[in-house]
Amino acid sequence: MPDNAPELAYPAETWEHWQLYRDVREALQALPSSFASEMNVSGVMATDIFTLNSAFGAMIEEQVVDSLNRARLAWDPDGTYSLYSFTRQAQRFPDVLLKKPGSDDDILFGIELKGWYLLSKEGEPSFRFTTTLSACATADLVVVVPWVLSNIISGTPRVFSPYIVPARYAAEYRNYHWEHLRESEDEKGIVLASGATPYPKKADPTADVPKSDNGGNFGRFARTGLMDDYKKNLMDQLLRGVPARYWLAFFKAFQDQSNEEKVTKRLEGLVKQARQSLESRDDGRLVAILRLIDDLKAVVLD
């Protein structure tokens, strides 16, 4: 790896709001226990499951903000910041601010918040993060919150502990990966946004722009490699007793194949894959996976 690789850095512990910053990060990690949603989804067809991210992503992000404000005791136990709250702002970076309501100046830090429907077809977060380094304050965060429905194709949203990274590091590493790590014969230069400062106005230019991007992939943060271990762990999460990676494969089998024979063949391949990866460990998950595949095959053959 080149010597100029970015280094992960956090605000100094001497910062007056350090304890708050640490407590907010811990509250974010505890989101699965504090998240609440009134949304209840039913009637989603298996072939339409991949559309949930675009249909409900903004709503999930709004409810994450509401959950953080309800969990105030976790990040402000003595009321020091009673005049502050998390507030969303549209079409600006960062899209969530911890600030005094009604004030554009008294901002403690921001969060670029992204929802990730865990069963989205890509198998990874698809958001683009193009914000330039100079627009990120030292304490700003990029937070990715994965979610699914409690009954997979119905029920209420269930969230998982999020991926959290300092926004400045995210911006710097994104550019570093684009210029030095990715394999491409195209021009790898980047034009940095000029004059950007933290908490920009809506009209201020804040996006870095690649000199060449034929595939439209600049800013696809999940492809930088930083989230690889996190994504792998999420795909091992059990959803109704079955690892998420298999649910994703089930739905893709129906979505990608147009006839019964191809779908059945795809499901049989999943049976073989499940046996190879789980049977040697005497894992009870294998039974749940095989039962689910049998149920899906029955649906296809009916």
Nearest to 208 by CA among 166, 184, 179: 179
Quick one: 81 and 207 in the same domain?
yes
Assign 13 to helix, strand or coil: coil
Sole residue written with tokens 């039913």: 42
Strand spans (E) along the chain:
85-88, 96-99, 107-117, 141-149, 157-159, 163-166, 190-191, 209-210, 238-239, 242-243
What is the dihedral sign for C-alpha 94, 99, 103, 106? negative
Residues 281 and 174 in one domain: no
Whether residues 183 and 291 fall in one domain: no
Say if residues 241 and 288 touch (Cβ distance below 8 Å): yes
Residues 103 and 168 both lie in one domain: yes
Domain co-membership, 132 together with 261:
no
Among 193, 210, 235, residue at a domain's last position:
235
Residues 212 and 74 in one domain: yes
Residues 45, 128 share a domain: yes
> Which residue among 189, 218, 235 closes a domain?
235
Task: Examine the domain organization and report whether 202 and 55 are in the same domain.
Answer: yes
Same domain, 50 and 67: yes
pTM attached to this predicted model: 0.86
7 CB-contact burial (10 Å; exposed 0-12 / middle 13-18 / buried 19+): exposed
Same domain for 195 and 259, yes or no, is: no
- Total structural domains in the chain? 2
Q: State whether 164 and 23 are in the same domain.
A: yes
Separation between Cα atoms, residue 35 and residue 64, nearest integer Å: 7
For the chain, residues with pLDDT lower than 70 are: 1-3, 46-47, 254-302
**277 is in which domain, residue-wise?**
238-301
212 falls within a domain: yes
pLDDT in tens, 240-287: 878 888 888 878 776 655 565 666 666 666 566 666 665 555 566 666
What is the predicted pLDDT for the residue at 22?
Answer: 97
State whether 109 and 253 are in the same domain. Answer: no
Query: Does residue 3 fall inside a structural domain?
Result: no
